[in-house]
Amino acid sequence: MSESSITERLVVSLRAEIDGLAPGDRLPSARELVRRHGVSPVTVTRAFALLAAEGTVVTRPGSGTFVAQRRAPSGTAPADTSWQAVALGDRSVDTARVSHLLGPPPPGAITMSGGYLHRSLQPTRPLAAALARASRRPDAWDRAPAEGLAPLRAVFARLAAADPEDVLVTGGGQGALSMAFRAIAPPGSPVLVESPTYPGALSAARAAGLRPVPVPMDADGIRPDLLAEAFAMTGARLLYCQPTFHNPTGAVLSPERRRQVVEVARASGAFVLEDDFARLLGHGGPAPRPLVADDRDGTVVYTTSLTKPASPSLRIGALVARGPVMARLRAMRLVDDFFIARPLQEATIELVSTPAWDRHLRALSAALRERCAALAAALAEHVPGWRVTRVPAGGLHLWVETGRSPDAAEVSRRYGVAVEPGQDFFAAEAPGQFARLGFAAAAGLEDLAEGARRLGSATRPDA
């Protein structure tokens, strides 16, 4: 009898034995099967390999061979998971506003959506060198402190004009927002937000069980008079705002209003969650001091990130807070994920400690300024019916009043340019028709000009 026939006979015998076992049960050892069936060890090895290939068994080196989980036969009804709808209740996580920020544009489309730099604007070589240097440190894979490595906390403390002891390193800006919303406000409570505002903040607030309440803005940022009314009417204990290079409008809160916003919140017994995501995305000239820098009573909880000016995968940010709220944030860090991966923190320290980082920031500032002006000019030429609300002094976007809002999916499909519809940036009804157009994610100035031409085609009356 041939070796293949002997192997097939053993496989048939083992299948019959497996039918009487449960998933996870251990099969007899190879030595036992050799003795029982009078075959060679090679035959047993081949039989187990055939059964493993068809998914009948799982072999774990050093432990043995076990019955695998049984797959449903083809043609049978799918598993019924409908019971989970009752168990999970009526709480849901809204991803509609943020999923398009991460998804790839249609093939061939010009990208004017999203909030990250094009690869040509990222410091890829300094990042690679920093990661290589960090990996060679003898303690690179040791456990990191829950609050973050001291040199990295010092970096963020300088950005916020704060004490390093008040800094908690986080996994990027979005993670910081999610943590802060859950730490500061109880589920079911209102949270005041600028109108319009960052869609990721709206999603994070709702995922934390909060109810975003819009507070109108004008050219100088959020209106303190309406903010005071909103605190009084809602009883909110938290305001989320972006005082510097606001997303999406690019507005910078005026000096007088910066003081008023903190005073209104303090008088209401509320916190201000200051999102300073664009501090390192200025187009030239100094950025105003963050709110937290002049707050000594712990009213302001500050967050920023190095992700935007570096790379989408450099998920490193920070929260700055004082008093019991920082104790709660630290406790949530321990419960959530213990600490941020040390190699990533070490690589970030290496990156921002070199002259290459300063050179990158200067080059990025000039590139963003040039791209912003080029896109604004191209829109004025090709889409005269749209009004750029302001040419910002920082950030990655133009906020455009469109007169009629184009359907983003239709524009992307028919005209090959990815834009973001304005309604996603409002917590309630939008006061008009808007769109956010990014100038940092496209490949270059030619793409921005071509994108504007395509938008002009998309918005013509006969389109």
Cβ atoms 170, 320 nearer than 8 A: no
Residues 6+ apart with CB under 8 A from 271: 184, 237, 238, 239, 265, 299, 300, 301, 325
Domain 122-353 falls in which CATH fold?
A: Aspartate Aminotransferase; domain 2 (3.40.640)
pLDDT interval class at 157 (50, 70, 90): very high
CATH number for the segment(s) 96-119+357-459: 3.90.1150.10
Closest CA to 365 of 309, 314, 315: 309
pLDDT digits (tens, 9 = 90+) for 319-367: 999 999 999 999 998 888 899 999 999 999 999 999 999 999 999 999 9
Orientation of helix 172-184 relative to helix 324-336, angle to 10°: 120
Residue 222 corresponds to which tokens in the numbers above?
């959020």
Cβ atoms 422, 435 nearer than 8 A: yes
Residue 1 has pLDDT above 60, yes or no: no
pLDDT of the residue at 191? 97
The domain locations on the chain are: 3-67, 96-119+357-459, 122-353
Taking 3-state DSSP, the helix, strand and coil percentages for the chain, each rounded to the nearest 5, stand at 45, 15, 40
Pairing of strands 300-305, 317-320: antiparallel
H-only helix segments in 96-171 = 96-102, 124-135, 150-160
In CATH, what class is 3-67?
Answer: mainly alpha
pTM: 0.80
Identify the residue with better confidence: 54 or 249. Answer: 249
pLDDT of the residue at 402? 87
Across 246-250, 360-364, 367-371, 417-421, least confident range:
417-421
